[in-house]
Amino acid sequence: MIKLHKYLGLLLIIFLLVSSIMGCAGQESDETNNPAGDPSLNTKAEGVLTIGMCATWPPFEYRDENGELIGFDIDMANEICKELSLKAEFKDADWQGLVPSLQKGDYDILISCFAASESREETVAFSDVYYDLPSTIVIQEGNSEIQSIEDLKNKTIGVQLGTADEMAAEELNKQLGFKELKKYKLPPDEFLDLKQGGIEAVVVGLPYAVQTIRDQGGFTIVGEPFAPQPVVMLVRNDNQELLTYINQSLSRMKEDGTYDSLIQKWFTI
User: Is the same domain home to 241 and 110?
Assistant: yes
Q: Give Rg (Cα) of the chain.
A: 25
- Is-contact 255 169, C-beta < 8 A? no
Does residue 2 sit within a domain? no
Question: Which residue segment(s) compose the domain that 163 sits in?
Answer: 133-229
| Amino acid in position 212 | T
Does residue 32 sit within a domain? no
> What pLDDT shows up at residue 105?
95
User: Is the same domain home to 109 and 168?
Assistant: no
User: Is the same domain home to 165 and 220?
Assistant: yes
User: Is the same domain home to 77 and 200?
Assistant: no
Domain count, the chain: 2
> What pLDDT shows up at residue 14?
43
Does residue 21 sit within a domain? no
> What pLDDT shows up at residue 118?
59
Does residue 253 sit within a domain? yes
> What pLDDT shows up at residue 32?
41
> What pLDDT shows up at residue 10?
45
Rounded Cα gap, residues 155 and 159, in angstroms: 13
Does residue 215 sit within a domain? yes
User: Is the same domain home to 238 and 105?
Assistant: yes
- Is-contact 125 243, C-beta < 8 A? yes
User: Is the same domain home to 121 and 247?
Assistant: yes
Does residue 16 sit within a domain? no
Return per-residue pLDDT of the chain as tens, 269 residues. 444 444 444 444 444 444 444 444 444 434 444 565 565 678 999 999 999 999 999 999 999 999 999 999 999 999 999 999 999 999 999 998 999 999 999 999 999 999 887 567 678 999 999 999 999 999 999 999 999 999 999 999 999 998 889 999 999 999 999 999 999 999 999 999 999 999 999 999 999 999 999 889 999 999 999 999 999 999 999 999 999 999 999 999 999 999 999 999 998 75
Does residue 203 sit within a domain? yes
> What pLDDT shows up at residue 119?
62
> What pLDDT shows up at residue 1?
46
User: Is the same domain home to 127 and 140?
Assistant: no
Does residue 205 sit within a domain? yes
Which CATH number characterizes residue 90's domain?
A: 3.40.190.10
User: Is the same domain home to 221 and 262?
Assistant: no
User: Is the same domain home to 201 and 246?
Assistant: no
User: Is the same domain home to 238 and 197?
Assistant: no
User: Is the same domain home to 139 and 54?
Assistant: no
User: Is the same domain home to 142 and 74?
Assistant: no
Beta pairing, strands 201-205 & 156-160: parallel
